[in-house]
């Protein structure tokens, strides 16, 4: 990577507030360099920097990034893919990042490629985002900032389009369907070549790490889970994408960033449609970290926090989500073809006050869990189980034609 755009190569001070990725002042290359300074050249030794920082993937799985980099670097003719598909309907963080700070993502893509010795780079994102990315790439090449070629591929508008193996299938010219891969894509990904597939937010963090180092990175977050993450807040008075240090209490997230009184919250969906519900009563004891959420079988996932008010019905919302997930399956295996539609019907029946019982949901969830070609059935089962616990009191009410949410709404 070359950085001949600016005559002043000095890197500005590192961001000190909550915003790091969102400290970007605009999508233009000049604004990017003025805020963050020029990109830094790195080699394989950068993997040790990433390891010292403790960065984990921000796409949902939370896998240690240094381990993925090292695995791909051990192969030959590796490729690197920036994954901005974001098929999760409740998430908007990747789109916001690509609109607001495309050069931070592209810097991270170049840094990752240099670290693993890759010559071929791809960026995979929805069609509506490709034009601004093309503009950013043209800026980089015309100014001599970065001559690295990046191939752009439009992502399909489906929930599973961003699943790692589905991404690689799409890049190979096939349908973006998850595949049951017996061999890690870090060893054999696209056309048998090692592939590093990283979420665009993860790559943006790599760009900042290459400039400011691991000690700075660890000034936010917790010792076990350092750094910040982008979060999509919804159901709050102030909804949208915000940047939050890992380990932040959920009450603070909702009150400070969402401008909503936690006392008005019935429940919170953490981690998106493959996430889990937490009851409002649990909020004072919960925070945005894997360790803190483990008690509720939840994770931050891709940074989705969906707040459910007392005048909303959690059973109905869950039924709508499970129906969507059943319709969005790849349909390649029994759990998706048969199990998820049955699970969706059963949850829908509970929400409608029908004869279905909670144990019916548990039985079907157990049948699909861990048996699919990908993790789609597992995530759907997790969501359904959490709803049975958090909204247990509502199930009997619905069976008798009542609903606490309707009562709350009438009271207002």
Q: Is residue 24 part of a domain?
A: no
Better-scored residue on pLDDT, 332 or 356: 356
Structure tokens given for 160 = 């599973």
Q: At 342, which CATH number? A: 1.20.1440.230
Q: At 42, which CATH number? A: 3.40.50.11540
Q: What is the mean pLDDT of residues 286-290?
A: 94
How far is residue 137's CA from residue 131's CA, in Å, rounded to a whole number?
A: 10
Residues 215 and 344 in one domain: no
Q: Is residue 10 part of a domain?
A: no
How far is residue 275's CA from residue 233's CA, in Å, rounded to a whole number?
A: 14
pLDDT at 155: 94
pLDDT at 305 over 60: yes
Residues 78 and 124 in one domain: yes
The closest alpha carbon to 201, from 24, 393, 8, belongs to: 24
Residues 235 and 355 in one domain: no
pLDDT at 6: 41
Q: Is residue 148 part of a domain?
A: yes
**Domain end (from 277, 309, 341):** 309
**Domain end (from 263, 289, 309):** 309
Residues 296 and 325 in one domain: no
Other C-beta atoms closer than 10 Å to the C-beta of 403 total: 17
Residues 175 and 239 in one domain: no
How far is residue 9's CA from residue 1's CA, in Å, rounded to a whole number?
A: 14
How far is residue 321's CA from residue 159's CA, in Å, rounded to a whole number?
A: 12
Q: Is residue 38 part of a domain?
A: yes
Range of the domain at 261: 225-309
pLDDT at 76: 82
pLDDT single digits (tens) 52-62: 999 999 987 88
Residues 299 and 323 in one domain: no
pLDDT band at 4 (very low <50, low <70, confident <90, very high): very low
Q: Is residue 19 part of a domain?
A: no
Average pLDDT of the chain is 90
pLDDT at 40 over 60: yes
The closest alpha carbon to 59, from 83, 79, 80, belongs to: 83
pLDDT single digits (tens) 338-396: 999 999 999 999 999 999 999 999 999 999 988 887 889 999 999 999 999 999 989 98
pLDDT at 1: 57
pLDDT at 412: 39
Q: At 290, which CATH number? A: 3.10.20.600
Residues 322 and 304 in one domain: no
Q: Is residue 264 part of a domain?
A: yes
Q: Is residue 47 part of a domain?
A: yes
pLDDT at 176: 82
Residues 265 and 372 in one domain: no
Q: Give DSSP secondary structure letters for 249-297.
A: BHHHIIIIIT---GGGEEEEEESGGGSEEEEGGGGGG-BSSHHHHGGGT
pLDDT at 85 over 70: yes
pLDDT band at 335 (very low <50, low <70, confident <90, very high): confident
For the chain, how many structural domains are there in total? Answer: 3
**Domain end (from 161, 195, 219):** 219
Q: Whole-prediction pTM value?
A: 0.92
pLDDT at 74 over 70: yes
Residues 191 and 237 in one domain: no
Residues 203 and 232 in one domain: no
Name 117's bridge partners: none
Q: Is 103 helix (H, G, I), strand (E, B) or coil?
A: helix
Cβ–Cβ under 8 Å, residues 198 and 65: yes
pLDDT single digits (tens) 119-156: 899 999 999 999 999 999 999 999 999 989 999 999 98
pLDDT at 86 over 70: yes
pLDDT at 80 over 60: yes
Residues 337 and 376 in one domain: yes
- From the number of C-beta atoms within 10 Å of its C-beta (0-12, 13-18, 19+), residue 161 rates as buried
Structure tokens given for 171 = 């890049």
pLDDT at 141: 94
pLDDT at 95 over 60: yes
pLDDT at 60: 79
Q: Is residue 188 part of a domain?
A: yes
pLDDT single digits (tens) 174-231: 888 787 664 466 565 566 678 899 999 999 999 999 999 999 999 999 999 999 999 9
pLDDT single digits (tens) 222-268: 999 999 999 999 999 999 999 999 999 999 999 999 999 999 999 99
Residues 300 and 332 in one domain: no
């Amino acid at each position: 990577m070359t950085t001949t755009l600016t005559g002043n190569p000095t890197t500005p001070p590192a961001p000190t507030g909550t915003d790091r990725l969102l400290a970007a002042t605009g999508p233009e290359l000049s604004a990017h360099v003025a805020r963050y300074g020029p990109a830094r050249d790195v080699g394989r030794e950068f993997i040790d920097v990433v390891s010292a920082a403790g960065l984990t993937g921000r796409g949902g799985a939370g896998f240690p990034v240094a381990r993925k980099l090292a695995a791909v670097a051990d192969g030959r003719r590796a490729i690197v893919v920036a994954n901005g598909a974001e098929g999760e309907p409740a998430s908007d963080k990747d789109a916001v990042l690509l609109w607001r700070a495309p050069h931070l993502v592209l810097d991270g893509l170049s840094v990752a490629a240099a670290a693993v010795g890759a010559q071929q780079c791809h960026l995979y994102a929805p069609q509506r985002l490709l034009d601004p990315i093309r503009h950013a790439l043209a800026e980089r090449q015309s100014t001599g900032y970065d001559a690295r070629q990046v191939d752009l591929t439009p992502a399909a508008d489906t929930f599973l389009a961003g699943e790692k193996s589905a991404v690689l299938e799409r890049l190979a010219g096939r349908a973006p369907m998850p595949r049951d891969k017996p061999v890690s894509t870090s060893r054999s990904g696209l056309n048998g070549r090692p592939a590093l597939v990283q979420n665009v937010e993860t790559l943006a963090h790599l760009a900042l790490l290459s400039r400011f180092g691991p000690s700075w990175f660890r000034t936010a977050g917790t010792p076990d889970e350092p750094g910040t993450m982008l979060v999509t807040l919804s159901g709050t008075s102030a909804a949208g994408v915000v940047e939050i240090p890992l380990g932040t209490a959920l009450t603070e997230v909702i009150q400070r960033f969402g401008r909503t009184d936690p006392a008005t919250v019935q429940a919170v969906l953490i981690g998106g449609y493959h996430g889990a519900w937490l009851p409002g009563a649990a909020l004072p004891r919960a925070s945005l970290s894997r360790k803190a959420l483990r008690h509720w079988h939840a994770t931050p996932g891709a940074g989705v926090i969906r707040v459910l008010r007392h005048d909303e019905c959690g059973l109905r919302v869950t039924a709508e989500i499970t129906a969507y997930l059943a319709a969005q399956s790849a349909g390649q295996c029994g759990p998706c073809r048969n199990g998820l539609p049955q699970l969706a019907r059963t949850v829908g029946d509970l929400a409608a006050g029908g004869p279905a019982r909670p144990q019916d949901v548990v039985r079907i969830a157990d049948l699909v869990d861990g048996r699919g070609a990908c993790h789609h059935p597992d995530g759907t089962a997790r969501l359904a189980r959490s709803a049975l616990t958090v909204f247990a009191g509502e199930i009997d009410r619905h069976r008798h034609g009542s609903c606490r949410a309707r009562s709350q709404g009438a009271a207002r």
